[in-house]
Amino acid sequence: MPLIDGFNRKIDYLRISVTDRCNFRCVYCMPSDGVEFVPREELLTYDEIERIAKVFVRLGVEKIRISGGEPTVRKDIVELVHRIGKLPLKSFAMTTNGYLLNPLADEFKKSGLHRVNISLDTLDKNKFKSLARFDGFDQVWNAIWRAVELGFTPVKLNMVVMNGFNDGEIYDFVELARKTPLHIRFIEYMPSSGGLGNEFEHARIIKTEQLKNIVSQHYELTPVTESEKTGPAKLFEIPGFAGKIGFIDPYAEHFCSSCNRIRLTSLGKLKWCLFSNDGLDVKGFIRSGRSDDELEQWIRERIIIDKPEHHPLGISDMIHVNTVFSQVGG
């Protein structure tokens, strides 16, 4: 029986954060002195992640995404991709900053990874360095084209748009989709507990509607049908373009009511929502010697009780979110 929550809607998408560590410290995600990483033994092991993923597949999950922190910094990540890649999934994806992707991409592809989302917020090397607090533009850029070459379908580029920082590059990013099958996704910046730089607070937000208007001034956007969509973005085609343009808007809708996903943090907490403060302690449950059947039953019962009706952004516009994105996976 598929996993159904209190809204009577199927939850078929599991997002797994495999580490809270990252080689970058993006200004919108982490404070300049980084965050305190949890001790390694606190992280779920690959055996535990695989076990939980298998139970979720039994419960009806058909899509899995691996995220972080930065998933490619976790040791032997290919091993985990290989294990998850063997599960009967309709979609298996990874969100990465791309810096370490190039040498791993081949193995990921062979191990059954279907798609990659790569975060890239600027095409300017110097801006990149100040934004990621890391000098890595060339490696990320090369990884994008390697991923396209290897046939990950589609390769999605995530750009967090920030007023006065990279909004002048919106058209340059749209142009990347003219000749290549990239999906360019503009993400509305969310002030969070991670990105503590005050300069990157509310004044940096450009609302999705505004972003869409900016793009529409120069390009004809045609909505893509629901059946063609592969994520939460509002997706558009532009005549003559090989790629697509998407907009991700955490504020516009109380999107819990249409959200089909559930999140497993690197510490083994199950979260119904990116903005949930706590979560269900799956790691504690399985480390206390429970069987897979017991885990399945427990998740099935809790999901009806715990799933929130809406996330805090939906009801209160532009609040500061008590979430460190690198710890829940964005």
326 binds ligand SF4 (CB under 6 A): yes
Considering CB distances under 5 to 8 angstroms, the limit depending on partner class, which of ligand SAM, ligand SF4, none binds residue 72?
none
Phi, psi of 215 (to 5 degrees): -65, -40
Minimum separation from the CB atom of position 233 to ligand SF4 (A) = 17
Contacted entry of ligand SF4, ligand SAM, none for residue 235, CB cut-off 5 to 8 Å set by kind: none
Q: Nearest distance from residue 236's CB to ligand SF4, in Å?
A: 24
Taking CB under 6 A as the criterion, the residue among 22, 80, 177, 215 binding ligand SAM is 22
Q: How far apart are CA 154 and CA 289, in angstroms?
A: 40
- For residue 103, say if its preceding peptide bond is cis, omega within 30 degrees of 0: no
CA distance 252 to 310: 12
Binding ligand SAM (rule: CB under 6 A), the pick from 52, 160, 264, 313 is 160
Map residues 79-118 to x or -, x wherever contact with ligand SAM holds by CB under 6 A.
----------------xxx---------------------
**3-state secondary structure string across 2-37:** CCECCCCCECCEEEEECCCCCCCCCCCCCCCCCCCC
Binding ligand SF4 by CB under 6 A: which of 13, 24, 46, 137? 24
Instruction: Single out the residue of 82, 63, 107, 80 nearest to residue 18, CA to CA.
Output: 80
Rounded to whole angstroms, the Cα distance separating 81 from 64 reads 11
Residue 44 contacts ligand SAM per CB under 6 A: no
Neighbours of 82 (CB within 10 A): 17
**Is residue 295 a contact point for ligand SAM (CB under 6 A)?**
no
Per CB under 6 A, does 195 bind ligand SF4? no
**Close Cβ partners of 122 (under 8 Å, ≥ 6 residues apart):** 128, 131, 165, 166, 169
* Span of 24-32, 36-44, 106-114, 288-296 interacting with ligand SF4 by CB under 6 A: 24-32
Q: What's the first-to-final CA gap in the chain, in angstroms?
A: 29
Q: Which is nearer to ligand SAM, 53 or 190 (CB)?
A: 190
Could you give the CA distance from residue 272 to residue 290 in angstroms, rounded to a whole number?
22
* 306 touches ligand SAM (CB under 6 A): no
Q: Check residue 323 for interaction with ligand SAM (CB under 6 A).
A: no
Region of 25-33, 229-237, 253-261, 304-312 interacting with ligand SF4 (CB under 6 A):
25-33
Q: Is 30 in the site for ligand SF4 (CB under 6 A)?
A: yes
CA distance 261 to 275: 13
* Residues making contact with ligand SF4 (CB under 6 A): 22, 24-26, 29-30, 68-70, 97, 119, 325-326
